Chain A
Amino acid sequence: SAVISQKPSRDICQRGTSLTIQCQVDSQVTMMFWYRQQPGQSLTLIATANQGSEATYESGFVIDKFPISRPNLTFSTLTVSNMSPEDSSIYLCSVARETHYGYTFGSGTRLTVV
């Protein structure tokens, strides 16, 4: 399975600022996703990161708040913009090779907004 490096692992940010989270994979992958996980909750899909085009966002998530880049098949970033305390959560990237599924998760970014 793919090896994912996700950075930063945690951060404490001031409200109104932005944080960019990076996800680097050791091999090319077809699918890259960004999830949010509140403590004790399930995984909520924010968007699918598409290589070379705009991400596909799920209901309730918009590009202005969560801009995503995916310049190639091994790297993606998620930015949490104009943060508020409600954005405090764990953010995870996940990848899969289309023909093999086997979704793998990054180690997560624990974000606290104060």
Chain B
Amino acid sequence: GENVEQHPSTLSVQEGDSAVIKCTYSDSASNYFPWYKQELGKRPQLIIDIRSNVGEKKDQRIAVTLNKTAKHFSLHITETQPEDSAVYFCAAVEGSYIPTFGRGTSLIVHP
């Protein structure tokens, strides 16, 4: 089955800096890669996603890049703000439509 590795487990940045979270996946059949943000005590919320026929997708301050050859994808957050502090999960989905989640990255943005 699919295996998703996510790094780092914790990321601490100053407000205004950029943050990058990286994930690798094992199953070349995976074709959909969502990213979720989970604030403390709340449900995971989809923030951005990318499909395998696209190399990059951007939505305001967040972007996701995908390298199918290397089987890795990354979340980029620019101009970080304290409200970006949360746990971020990546996931990979293949033909069964069942997502495999990474272990999560705790992002801390210091004012």
Residues of A within 8 A of B (CB): 1, 30-31, 33, 41-43, 45, 48, 92, 96, 98, 101-108
CA distance A102 to B99 in the complex (A): 11
- Among A48, A92, A96, A101, contact of B43 (Cβ-Cβ < 8 Å): A92
Looking at B66-74, B75-83, B101-109, the stretch in contact with chain A turns out to be B101-109
Task: State the Cβ distance, B39 to closest chain A Cβ, in Å.
Answer: 12
Using C-beta atoms within 8 Å of the partner chain, give the interface range for chain B.
10 to 19
Residues of B at the A interface (CB closer than 8 Å) are 32, 34, 42-46, 49, 89, 91, 93, 97-99, 101-104
Quick check: A31 and B97 within 8 Å, CB to CB? yes
Whether B97 pairs with A106 at a CB distance below 8 angstroms is no
| Residue in A closest to B96 when the chains form the complex, CB atoms | A48
Q: Does the CB pair B43–A106 fall under 8 Å? A: yes
A1, A33, A102, A104: which contacts B98 (Cβ < 8 A)? A33
- Cβ–Cβ contact B32 & A101, under 8 A: yes
